[in-house]
Structure 1
Amino acid sequence: MNRPRRCALLASGFLVAATAATAAPPKLSDAAPFGVRRGEAAEVTLTGTDLGANPRLIAPFPFQVEALPPERSKPEAWAFKIVVPATVAVGAYPIRVQTDDGVSSPLLFAVGQLPQVAEVEENSRFEAPQALAATPVDVEGRVAGNDVDFYKFAGKKGQRIVVDAQCARVGSGIDPSIKLSQATPTRRFMAAADDTPGLLTDARLTTELPEDGDYVVELSDSRYAGGGRPIYRLLIGEIPIADEVYPLGGRAGETDGFELRGGTSAEIRTAVARLVPLPNTAIHPPLFAGANGLDVESLRPLVVSDAPEIREPADPAAAPVRVAAPVVLNGRIDTPGDEDRFVVATKPGAKLKIRVDAGRLGSSLDGVLQVLNAKGAAIANADDQSTPGPMKNGVAVKMIDPDPALTVDVPADVDEITLVLRDLEKRGGVGFPYRIVVEPAAPGFEIALDASESNVPRGGSAVVAVTLDRKGYDGPVTLSVLDPPAGLTFRPGSIAAGQAIGRISLAAAGDAAFAVADLKIVGEAAGPAGPIRRIASRRDVFAQQDYLATNVREREALATAPTLPGLVTLDAPAGPIEAVHGQPATIPVKIARTAGADAAMDLTALTLPAGFTAAVVKVAEKADQAALVVAVGADAALGATTIGFNAKGKFAPGERTIDAPVVALNVVRPIELTLEKPAYEAAPGATVELKGKVVRKGAFKDPVVVKLDGLPAGLKAEPTTVAPEATDFVVKVVADADAKPAEAAAKALAAFQIDKKDYAFPPAPVAFKIVAAQPK
């Protein structure tokens, strides 16, 4: 048995168990239990697939681990013993499993502070509930389909208890409904909850028990569907909770004071915390002391920013604070019907991004934002928004976000705006805090990682896909990796102007030995106001109801791990390979096979940007080379574009997918048109020869017609045809004998077709001037 191993705070931990290696990265689907009580040893079994190749636990909190006997584990279930220190904040954290074959996607795992009890079936009738020996308690259970669970506990008169169904908060797919009744023949109803304000679809109730006796809690999925991962953690008993934490966050590295209101205490409680975000995130786990030696439960993580943090005045009668972007404004709607105002100084004609963070942070506020000018006239309004969600069939699913956001174009005669925030239904009181983020809206972009992890075979490659969300910048973007670990290299990526699909590839050395690395994928561009630099992020949706994301975690890193060498390795030139509009571009591919890996394969391009297509290439058995042919349409964006491709084949024990390193294509037009001179002069009655060259690209051999447009009155020019074998051309420009002095910015046009359609070739500017006739 391995000895326990300590891990530093906020660092990943590893548990090594000697098991047989597999050839597929691990997949993590569930955990039993779904969480552990901090400070106590617990046995945990993680389930999924391909978990048998030397599994290690990756978590953002410290822990001690101890191996269990090997017979307790198998490839679809890995069992171990874990202790999480009592200093870790209560909440749900994303964990992963790493094996010799890679790292899994994340799964939420809870860290609690209460004694844990597992559901025991049959507890589906009010008359036969599962008895709980004591409270407070944390019950773990499942309500798949139309299941209903009942729990009985003993209560005392005057106890103020909490019944909290944590579902979306721990990554569950159920929409809980809870009900509390007395365990008497009359089943006297006490309280119920469904979709508690501030918890989105989760449910929580607080009530005072009227007398000594037994009580029954009923829990079900309000839709009686119980889909997805139908788990819950049900907290019952005298547990400190707060309906509001104010503010909802603060500036990184600063020590701030916080107020906790509502919940199980009639008094306003204060706490102090230094805000240090979890690695690669903008959240700080809350850790506030409560009553009975317990910490306050059910708090969302606090948000950490880099901008100045301003709070609304404590006196409601005070004038609105005046600020300038960038800034974060913290406030709360204290009374029903209230609205808060902030004045933002700005430059006339500026553009500002304004975002409200409330519902996603656990506030009950359903915000409506209005932007006014100095005279009180509305400039803009915002309510719910639609945001990109998880990828489905290569397309980002749109999710509904109840928090408003907008971009404001400040009018040219306005030097300050007023932000007005209220609740949609004019509610207010405890539980309605918010943050308003105000930033300059310079042209830019955001980058989303299409996956949360990347597994790179030693000696091979893995493609990383990103999606660009352009925010006023439409030019090219280059992709790179910031400070990759030893043993890992990358091929940079290029996203051409107007495109949204981006790729880079990672390559691991044959002896790469780095642990799971949190890679920063960086996009850079030359914007109109200076360099633009963004780090790619990933929005992992752990729970959702239809199109409402109920648990989303965002992190600015790609979890990357080396894997065992693959059976087949693909190689291709980095490029750039010239790709001509209307012509195919050929990418040579080298194939290295290990002994016995002789199967035929299909070579397939990954999703290509608009204007590119590629047919599947059949690679014969034992073949050591192939060629991927990419057709370049006339509408493909000019400039550098990086594409990815892979091969699929049936190798024992099943089908395998092998990534190739990405290849850069440099998309060019079918011809280059150059003029000998940029300007010409002609006297009345004279003839001027405009000379130039047509340089063809690739296989383009069609004739090109060159003509002039926009000549000043008095000049005429007949088009000339440049034959397929010719390069040089001359256009004769004739001035009328009575032509009057004039000048104009003319254009030299090249006309030809691609795929039987006129090609939009950009005109070349050329200046023409008619000069006065010289006296004889």
Structure 2
Amino acid sequence: MYRALMMWLVGSAGWLCAAAVIADAPSADYIFPAGGQRGTTVPFRVGAHFLHGGSPFEMLGPGVEARPRIVRTETIWFEGPLIVKPASQGGEVYPKDHLGEVKIASDAALGSRPWRLWTSQGAVGGRSFVIGDLPEIVEQEIDGRPIPTRVDLPVTINGRIFPREDIDIWEFEARAGQSVTCAVLASRIGSPLDSRLLLYDSQSRLVAENTDYFGSDSLLRFQAPADGTYRLHIHDTSYRGLQPFIYRLTVTAGPYVDHVYPLGGQVGTAVDFELIGQQTPDKRVSVTLPEQGAGLFAQYFPLPEYASNPVQIDLSNLPEHLEVEPNDDTPTAGAAILPAV
């Protein structure tokens, strides 16, 4: 009897150890909305697996303060159209929604903030939450046929293409001759969405469309042919859609920077940039570049009402020199001392 009891205890201990070893590590597929305007408090949902009711949560970087824990809530779900074989045999995962909240300081630096969550079985990181400057809205998701939602410009829209074959429609006013830029941020923040934008006028005539601009993220700019209401459609190019297919869509008739000159500068120095794009200022804009290592950097330029969209510039540790025209003849003075940019 004693021997049998000991064998049972040893076997039970081994089973428990094995169960602990094979316990599922947590994973996270999205945060929605994927960003917020500085100076606001943003409730969000994290789609995750194996959190068993909730987990600790942390958002890193200055100017953000997130609740220290996310908790399980009812998962938003739309069934969508029937999937026929063989597509129905493809793998799909269905994460559970967990609620959290983040307070964004009014002077928070613009750009991405990493976040992470963890359990006793591991940690999840690598995702981003974007701090913006423009007014923001979050899509009020509904099941069924898409209903146009009116927005005022400028705006950053936080939306999601869900379920499969979903199309979101955003409606706004534009004046004749007015230039409007519509820019998607999705794949660059880890969303599987391969976006397509289509713009229609008040007579349902197609005005402009775009599929790929920043990789698979779309951007279109149009000049309104007449005063009126315009409708912007966004969907996945393959009409896919699921919980992680989140996006940020900025629509503005104000400044939008396409390019800058020079293309960068020496770290820690003040540089005067010429901004090229929609409604950009005629005068150069001066910024002091950050003290950090050389490489690519997302720079936001200060403008009268809102900061610009981020523009990728190159930071260097070397002294820099700007071309001065005319420079077609052999230089006689002022040669740069190398190394330099």
Using structure 2 for the length normalisation, give the TM-score: 0.71
Partner of 1:356: none
Partner of 1:135: 153
Equivalent of 1:204 in 199, 219, 241: 219
Equivalent of 2:116 in 66, 73, 96: 96
Q: Closer, same or farther in 2 for the Cα pair 1:174/1:53, shift >3 Å?
A: closer
**Contact 1:68/1:81, CA 8 A, preserved across alignment:** no
- One-letter amino acid of the structure 2 residue matched with residue 290 of structure 1: L
Task: Give the gaps of 5 or more residues in structure 2.
Answer: 1-22, 76-94
**Contact 1:239/1:296, CA 8 A, preserved across alignment:** no
Partner of 1:87: 107
**Contact 2:273/2:286, CA 8 A, preserved across alignment:** yes
Distance 1:62 1:283 in 2: 23
1:232 aligned counterpart, secondary structure: strand
Which protein has the bigger strand share? 1
Q: CA deviation at 1:268?
A: 5.0
Distance 1:314 1:123 in 2: 60
1:295 aligned counterpart, secondary structure: coil
- One-letter amino acid of the structure 2 residue matched with residue 310 of structure 1: E
Equivalent of 1:109 in 114, 123, 129: 129
Q: Closer, same or farther in 2 for the Cα pair 1:319/1:218, shift >3 Å?
A: farther
Partner of 1:216: 231
Deviations along 1:727-759, one digit per CA (max 9) or x if unpaired, are xxxxxxxxxxxxxxxxxxxxxxxxxxxxxxxxx
- One-letter amino acid of the structure 2 residue matched with residue 161 of structure 1: V
**Contact 2:28/2:46, CA 8 A, preserved across alignment:** yes
Q: Closer, same or farther in 2 for the Cα pair 1:209/1:273, shift >3 Å?
A: same
Q: CA deviation at 1:171?
A: 2.3
1:95 aligned counterpart, secondary structure: strand
**Contact 1:178/1:203, CA 8 A, preserved across alignment:** yes
Which protein has the bigger helix share? 2
Q: CA deviation at 1:106?
A: 0.7
Partner of 1:295: 307
Distance 2:303 2:103 in 1: 23
Partner of 2:66: 65
Deviations along 1:240-270, one digit per CA (max 9) or x if unpaired, are 2111123333333333332211223373542
- One-letter amino acid of the structure 2 residue matched with residue 139 of structure 1: I
Q: Closer, same or farther in 2 for the Cα pair 1:314/1:190, shift >3 Å?
A: farther
Partner of 1:164: 183
Q: Closer, same or farther in 2 for the Cα pair 1:301/1:25, shift >3 Å?
A: farther
Alignment identity in percent? 23
Q: CA deviation at 1:208?
A: 3.1
Using structure 1 for the length normalisation, give the TM-score: 0.34
Deviations along 1:66-116, one digit per CA (max 9) or x if unpaired, are 468967599954422211223334434432224555432311222222221
Bigger drift between 96-105 and 200-209 goes to 96-105
Q: CA RMSD in A?
A: 3.6
1:294 aligned counterpart, secondary structure: coil
1:42 aligned counterpart, secondary structure: strand
* Structure of higher CA gyration radius: 1
Distance 2:329 2:161 in 1: 51
Equivalent of 2:251 in 210, 223, 236: 236
Partner of 2:207: 190
Q: CA deviation at 1:42?
A: 1.1
Partner of 2:43: 43
Deviations along 1:110-133, one digit per CA (max 9) or x if unpaired, are 2222221315335756xxx42224
Q: Closer, same or farther in 2 for the Cα pair 1:111/1:37, shift >3 Å?
A: same
**Contact 1:194/1:204, CA 8 A, preserved across alignment:** yes
Q: CA deviation at 1:220?
A: 2.3
Q: CA deviation at 1:40?
A: 0.4
**Contact 1:173/1:227, CA 8 A, preserved across alignment:** no
**Contact 1:57/1:96, CA 8 A, preserved across alignment:** yes
Partner of 2:174: 155
Distance 1:200 1:69 in 2: 32
Partner of 2:18: none
Q: Closer, same or farther in 2 for the Cα pair 1:314/1:160, shift >3 Å?
A: same
**Contact 1:42/1:83, CA 8 A, preserved across alignment:** yes
Partner of 2:271: 256
Deviations along 1:538-581, one digit per CA (max 9) or x if unpaired, are xxxxxxxxxxxxxxxxxxxxxxxxxxxxxxxxxxxxxxxxxxxx
Partner of 1:313: 323
2:221 aligned counterpart, secondary structure: strand
**Contact 1:36/1:112, CA 8 A, preserved across alignment:** yes
The correspondence of residues 221-620 of structure 1 with structure 2, limited to 5 A, is: 221-225=236-240, 229-265=244-280, 267=282, 269-277=284-292, 282-291=295-304, 293-297=305-309, 299-306=310-317, 308-315=318-325, 317-318=327-328, 327=340, 329=341
- One-letter amino acid of the structure 2 residue matched with residue 141 of structure 1: G
Partner of 1:176: 195
1:169 aligned counterpart, secondary structure: helix
Distance 2:192 2:218 in 1: 13
Distance 1:178 1:82 in 2: 30
Count of aligned positions: 295
Distance 1:226 1:153 in 2: 24
**Contact 1:167/1:173, CA 8 A, preserved across alignment:** yes
**Contact 2:153/2:252, CA 8 A, preserved across alignment:** yes
Deviations along 1:451-493, one digit per CA (max 9) or x if unpaired, are xxxxxxxxxxxxxxxxxxxxxxxxxxxxxxxxxxxxxxxxxxx
Partner of 1:402: none
**Contact 2:271/2:288, CA 8 A, preserved across alignment:** yes
Distance 1:225 1:286 in 2: 33
**Contact 1:118/1:139, CA 8 A, preserved across alignment:** yes
The correspondence of residues 641-680 of structure 1 with structure 2, limited to 5 A, is: none
Distance 2:269 2:338 in 1: 20
Q: CA deviation at 1:182?
A: 1.2
